[in-house]
Amino acid sequence: MPAVSPDSLITRTQDLLSTQVDGETVLMDVASGKYFGLARTAQAIWSELETPLTFGALCSRLQARYKGDAAAIAADTQRFLLELSDRQLVTLS
């Protein structure tokens, strides 16, 4: 698994359509016809990424929000970001 460093910049992919359905965020990649539902924590992370953010900054915001164990938050967030990246919903640089 490629590591995400604290300085990695996370940027949402352009041209995704997004809509709110029953409190979930639905992302649509219209060109490929793929769509994704984000709920709870996933949705919170996505909303933090409205403007590009480094992994370190994202983790500290989530830490402030959820008051959890910092290492666990970083590990979960990294896993989720790699998933988003696999699906071409964000770029990591």
* Token pair recorded at residue 68: 């959890």
Q: Name residues contacting other proteins, limited to 73-92 (CB under 8 A).
A: none
Q: Name residues contacting other proteins, limited to 25-84 (CB under 8 A).
A: 26, 28, 30-31, 33, 35-37, 39
Could you tell me the smallest distance in angstroms from the CB atom of residue 40 to other proteins?
Answer: 11
Q: Name residues contacting other proteins, limited to 3-22 (CB under 8 A).
A: 17, 19-22
Could you tell me the smallest distance in angstroms from the CB atom of residue 39 to other proteins?
Answer: 7
Is 29 exposed, middle or buried (CB count within 10 Å of its CB: 0-12, 13-18, 19+)?
middle
23 in contact with other proteins (CB under 8 A) = yes
> Which residues face 90 on adjacent strands?
12
C-alpha 81/C-alpha 85 separation (Å) is 6
Strand pairing report for 24-29 and 17-21: antiparallel
Residue 9 three-state SS: strand
Which residues of this chain interact with other proteins, rule CB under 8 A? 17, 19-24, 26, 28, 30-31, 33, 35-37, 39
